[in-house]
Structure 1
Amino acid sequence: MKAMILSGELAPGERLPVERELAARLGISRGSLREAVRALALVGVLRTRRGDGTYVTSLEPGLLLEATGMVAELLQENSAVWLLEVRRMLEPGATALAAARMSPEEISGLRECLERLEKAPGVEELVAADDEFHARIASAAGNPVLSSLLRGLAGRTLRARLWRGVSDQKTLERTRLGHRAIFQAIERRDPELARAAAASHIAEVEDWFRSNPQEPA
């Protein structure tokens, strides 16, 4: 079925042939076909509509990479540091792209998000605004694969960032300063300054977790 999709024989949104016909075409049993359909449905390639049949999904990056978030959520032990290493590799590039591509309306929305972050009365509100801030930047980068990957990593680090804020109140002001620097670079339309600001911000968070490895269960 993967080969049929890659070749274009099955296009996004198209319904699969009936089970008996498809199993015969693939040379497998109907039981094996059902297992394959279930597996492909789990990773967002197929979607079964009760009473209507099974369809190829839109195959958009956000759908196909959704499983990344689930896998990231299941990581244990030093996962916060590992995921922050990956964010440090990807997010500065996304931020540089956003600085070049963000519309005035998107920059205005990012400014409002920053204001909520700076005025947040508590850790949970600050981290929620932090998460939205980075999501807006990733989306504005204009690369749905990159945006989906970054969103998939965000869920696992969200809980860790909450713990960091509760454990060390001094980090809250550093977080505000880091986001302010990123926003100012984007507002100036300076991709390289935005890249550097994002790298510095994520490196600071990563360094904190390396020094405080006891993440809550």
Structure 2
Amino acid sequence: MALTDEAIDKIKAMIVDGELAPGSRLPKEELLAAQLGLSRNSLREAVRALTAMRILITRQGDGTYVSSLEPHLLLESLSFAADVSQGRAALQLLQVRRLLEPQATGLAASLLQPEDLDELRTILERSRTVATVEEFVAHDTAFHLKIVEAVGNPVLSMLLQVVSTRTQRVRIVRGSQASDALNNAHADHEQILGALQSRDGLLAAAAATVHITAVERWLAASLTEEPTPTIDD
């Protein structure tokens, strides 16, 4: 095991064992290195890695602390993996989205307030007037996130953002025939919103399933073509 990996494991063990609680400050570098039997250089590398994972946070001039360790915060570090996902990896992320988002959409049907439904309608109207794929995807992301947030589970919201990032959506829309993709998405969004306005959870879940499955099928089909296309455009 590399020295940095060993240092990471030792710090994580202190957190798991309760020696370092969420929000607590790490001991001074020289003391912690001696306590863990590590070189200060290995410790610094471990702290950098754990900071990137949002397990630790560094406060300028104040030291290094354990983060709140809330799951939705830790999941943020996975967004980069979704952003750069290609081929089968991108398809697998879409499959995870299909397993989770329709259920969340169905639950939201009874939880969205009238003002939330009005906001969703506004988002859809704005999405029809955009000039670029990027603008459409920004509205598309806002639409789905607003629905999922009604469930009130920040872990679920962040997980769905991770498996379907804005960057990934832009790439997929660009890789397909953009005009067809946008027209189909508009129609799907109307079906979802109509079900939510009717407070029909089953219909809302079904509409969301159809919406996500259409994208998933396109991507799966594109992976079987020769030469293999790219969704980067």
Instruction: State TM-score, norm by structure 1.
Output: 0.87
Please give the alpha-carbon distance, in whole angstroms, between the structure 1 residues aligned to 2:148 and 2:175.
Answer: 23
Please give the alpha-carbon distance, in whole angstroms, between the structure 2 residues aligned to 1:35 and 1:124.
Answer: 37
Please give the alpha-carbon distance, in whole angstroms, between the structure 2 residues aligned to 1:51 and 1:215.
Answer: 46
Please give the alpha-carbon distance, in whole angstroms, between the structure 2 residues aligned to 1:203 and 1:125.
Answer: 22
Change (3 A) 1:10 1:105: farther
2:82 is aligned to: 72
2:154 is aligned to: 144
1:189 is aligned to: 199
CA contact (8 A) 2:98 2:209 kept: yes
1:132 is aligned to: 142
Q: How many residues align?
A: 216
- Once the two structures are superposed, residues 144-180 of structure 1 have per-residue CA deviations (whole angstroms, 9 ceiling, x without a partner) of 1111111112224322233156x24233222111111
Q: Gapped runs of 5+ residues in structure 1?
A: none
2:92 is aligned to: 82
Residue 35 of structure 1: how far off its partner (Å): 2.2
1:46 is aligned to: 56
2:91 is aligned with what amino acid?
A: V
- Once the two structures are superposed, residues 127-158 of structure 1 have per-residue CA deviations (whole angstroms, 9 ceiling, x without a partner) of 22112111212222222111111111222432
CA contact (8 A) 2:172 2:231 kept: no
Change (3 A) 1:25 1:199: same
1:159 is aligned to: 170
Q: Gapped runs of 5+ residues in structure 2?
A: 1-10, 224-228
Please give the alpha-carbon distance, in whole angstroms, between the structure 1 residues aligned to 2:90 and 2:121.
Answer: 27
1:154 is aligned with what amino acid?
A: S
1:215 equivalent to 2:230? Answer yes
Residue 204 of structure 1: how far off its partner (Å): 1.3
CA contact (8 A) 1:13 1:57 kept: yes
1:98 equivalent to 2:108? Answer yes
1:18 is aligned to: 28
CA contact (8 A) 2:173 2:181 kept: no
Residue 121 of structure 1: how far off its partner (Å): 4.6
Residue 90 of structure 1: how far off its partner (Å): 1.4
Please give the alpha-carbon distance, in whole angstroms, between the structure 2 residues aligned to 1:25 and 1:96.
Answer: 51
- Over the matched positions of the two proteins, sequence identity in percent amounts to 48
Aligned to 1:183, the other structure's residue is in SS state helix
Please give the alpha-carbon distance, in whole angstroms, between the structure 2 residues aligned to 1:111 and 1:6.
Answer: 45
- Once the two structures are superposed, residues 75-134 of structure 1 have per-residue CA deviations (whole angstroms, 9 ceiling, x without a partner) of 223443232222111111221222233233333222211221234355433222112111
2:15 is aligned with what amino acid?
A: I
1:120 is aligned to: 130
1:215 is aligned with what amino acid?
A: T
2:213 is aligned to: 203
Residue 209 of structure 1: how far off its partner (Å): 2.3
2:173 is aligned with what amino acid?
A: L
Please give the alpha-carbon distance, in whole angstroms, between the structure 2 residues aligned to 1:13 and 1:105.
Answer: 36
Root-mean-square deviation over aligned CA pairs: 2.2
Please give the alpha-carbon distance, in whole angstroms, between the structure 1 residues aligned to 2:75 and 2:135.
Answer: 27
